[in-house]
Structure 1
Amino acid sequence: MESCALIPSYRPDGRLIQTIAALKEAGFERIVVVDDGSGAEFAPLFSQAERDYSAVVLRHTVNMGKGRALKTGFCWILARYPSCCAVSVDGDGQHSAESAVAAAELAEANPDALILGCRRFARQKSMPIPNLIGNVATRAAFFLLTGIRFADTQCGLRAYPPGVMRLLCNVAGDRFEFESNTLLAVRKLHLPVIEFGLEVLYAPAGEYVSTYRRAADSARIARCLLDFALLPLLFGLISSVLLLCFTAAGAAAALNGTAAFLCVLAGKLLLALVSPRKLLGSVYACSAAALYGLCFFLLCAASLPPAGAFALLLLPYSLVSFALYRLFNFGF
């Protein structure tokens, strides 16, 4: 499988040319650079890439984001070289050409997998503290909300075989959240993910410039993770409101248990209707609702008020319920 280096670039400096030169020397015959609306001031750098290194430069008139730049590159590569793998590389000199070659080799050996570069955090003494904190937080959020454990969710060095590219062209997200969305998408589609370790080269503190907007882009990434868990949260809220309304009158324990069963069943069945595996989701809905109703009945029979029983069951039941929802529908 042939490989093409893909570099999304916004307002670059001379390190873009250094990156392209290193990739050429490492054996990348095809290099695609996406100028993401950098403006006339940066045109000479892109022209130099075309003139001196025969790079293909695709241009956005305005800044559209890293995710959109990657998808622009995917579409161009698939149209011109449909059997070619794309290796995404940051244009600021962080990723070595050797790491890009390693990613390409893994993609050739695993043509159905997404290849992820993973920074070795213990060895990265020059990594900016905000980058380290952000990555640790994102990894933790990924695991808690989706059950997926990745060594690095934000590294820009990845290899996309053609089949994976075709699937990911339709993934939502135009900015940095696109890379997080791809991790959710490949697991939903049950595509394998292969991680490999690498070290990145950060510029000195005074020279390091990032286009990552910490507040706005972090919010976009958080939103894509919450969207993954939105339906379970929504239907869980519906069940909770119904339950608190029906048990507010202080009925007998048996009636409270029955109300708890029916309210939870309603929310679970609604969730099953919009889940990938509807039949399995329906069976799970009945089982989970019956268990919840029984626990609710026993707590009320022990003289605990309905609101107290609800509060006591809320956290453990929610955690177990969401974990089972992920397991049944996505196999996490």
Structure 2
Amino acid sequence: MSYCFIIPNYNHIHNFSSFINKLIQYKLPIIVINDGSDTNTELALRTLATEQPSITLLHHQRNLGKGAAVQTGLSYAYQQGFSHALQVDADGQHDLNDIDTFINLSKASPLTLISGTPMYDESIPKHRYFARYITHVWVYIETLSLQVKDSMCGFRVYPLAAYNILSDKVALGNRMDFDTEVLVRLYWQNCPITFVPTKVIYPEDGSSHFRPLEDNIRISWMHTRLFFGMLIRSPALLYKNIKRWLS
């Protein structure tokens, strides 16, 4: 079993160096994907990668979206022979103190995807907090289950073999739709998923790349596809869930 970090980055450079320094203490390779950032950010990332030998820096020539960046990192990690990749967002929202917990759970159950269940403080914008529940309800429908406690948290340990099987079969969303779609489809693929409560904050100086109109349309289309995918899989999903309830 071999682990690495996957860090998608689009114009997140404020405090990024201190963020990386916190990851370095875990003595794991760090794969940073520059998703078409501006010139200043790209230069800063190149400098940081030169100074830190544990960093591999990959580049998208233009911004393709967070989902595309994560997929680039996961595919690269799999090609390099890593068995697992821990995705962490670059914006400082995730509690890095939980990394050991995530990795230890993964080592105890190597085939399982370990995903965070956010515990928010007052820093989360109210509209985002309540909007998440719309996706939660859709995911309950798409899986015919309440097992997926949160599908939107980008703090995860992926078993790369399971992800690679999925990515070879289906084109996944490239932007804010990725986190939810990949989790639902891995659930359909019978990949075990364990959820871990973890603190998530919205830093005062943080920035969001969520595009209300474009991303909401994209997410709505994703849920439409997943809904009809659920209908096709409903007998198997019902059998799976009934079997779990009876066990």
Bigger RCO of structures 1 and 2 (CA < 8 A, at least 6 apart): 2
Structure-2 residue corresponding to 1:210: 208
Q: Give the TM-score normalised by structure 2.
A: 0.87
Deviation at 1:4, TM superposition (A): 0.5
Q: 2:224 aligns with which of 207, 223, 226?
A: 226
Q: Which residue of 2 aligns with 1:271?
A: none
Q: Distance in 1 between matches of 2:229 and 2:108?
A: 37
Is the counterpart of residue 57 in structure 1 residue 57 in structure 2? Answer: yes
Q: C-alpha offsets along residues 195-244 of structure 1, whole Å, 9 cap, x if unaligned?
A: 0010023212xx231111122222222222211223788xxxxxxxxxxx
**Whole-angstrom distance in 1 between the partners of 2:209 and 2:228:** 29
- For the pair 1:132 / 2:129, whether they are aligned, the reply is yes
Q: What is the aligned partner in structure 1 of residue 43 from structure 2? A: 44
Shift of residue 324 of structure 1?
6.2
Name the SS of the counterpart of 1:159 in structure 2.
strand
Which residue of the partner structure matches residue 71 of structure 1?
71
Greater per-residue strand proportion: 2
Does the 8 Å CA contact 2:106/2:112 hold for their aligned counterparts?
Answer: yes
> Compared with structure 1, are the counterparts of its residues 28 and 202 closer, same or farther at alpha carbon in structure 2 (3 Å cutoff)?
farther
> What is the one-letter code of the residue matched to 1:143?
Y
Structure 1 vs Structure 2 CA RMSD: 2.2
**Runs of 4+ that moved beyond 6 A:** none
CA contact (8 A) 2:4 2:82 kept: no
Q: Aligned letter for 1:179?
A: D
Counterpart Cα distance in 2 of 1:178 and 1:46: 24
Task: Give the match's secondary structure for 2:135.
Answer: helix
Q: TM-score, normalised to structure 1's length?
A: 0.66
Pair 1:182–1:44, CA change in 2 (3 A):
same
Separation (CA, whole Å) in 2 of partners of 1:60 and 1:163? 24
The aligned counterpart of 1:169 is: 167
Query: How many angstroms apart in 2 are the aligned matches of 1:228 and 1:116?
Result: 20
Is contact 2:188–2:237 with CA below 8 Å preserved after alignment?
no
SS at structure 1 position matched to 2:12: coil
Deviates more, 1:188-197 or 1:145-154: 145-154
SS at match of 1:35: strand
Q: 1:199 is paired with a residue of what secondary structure?
A: strand
Q: Which has the larger radius of gyration?
A: 1
Is 1:117–1:158's contact at 8 Å kept on the other side of the alignment? yes
Secondary structure at the counterpart of residue 31 of structure 2 = strand
Identical pairs, percent: 25
Distance 1:31 1:231, change over 3 A: closer
Q: CA deviation at 1:36?
A: 0.4
Deviation at 1:157, TM superposition (A): 0.3
Long gaps (5+) in structure 1: 234-274, 277-322
Q: State the aligned residue count.
A: 238
Question: Would the aligned equivalents of 1:14 and 1:45 in 2 still touch at CA under 8 Å?
Answer: no
> What residue is the counterpart of 1:91 in the other structure?
90
Separation in 1 of the partners of 2:52 and 2:96? 15
Partner SS for 1:7:
strand
Alignment of 1:5 with 2:5, yes or no, is: yes
User: In 2, are the aligned partners of 1:34 and 1:69 still within 8 Å (CA)?
Assistant: yes
Q: Deviations over 1:14-59 (max 9, x none)?
A: 222221111112x133000000011312122202320222211100
Quote the residue 1:156 is aligned against: 154
Structure 1 or 2: more helix by fraction: 1
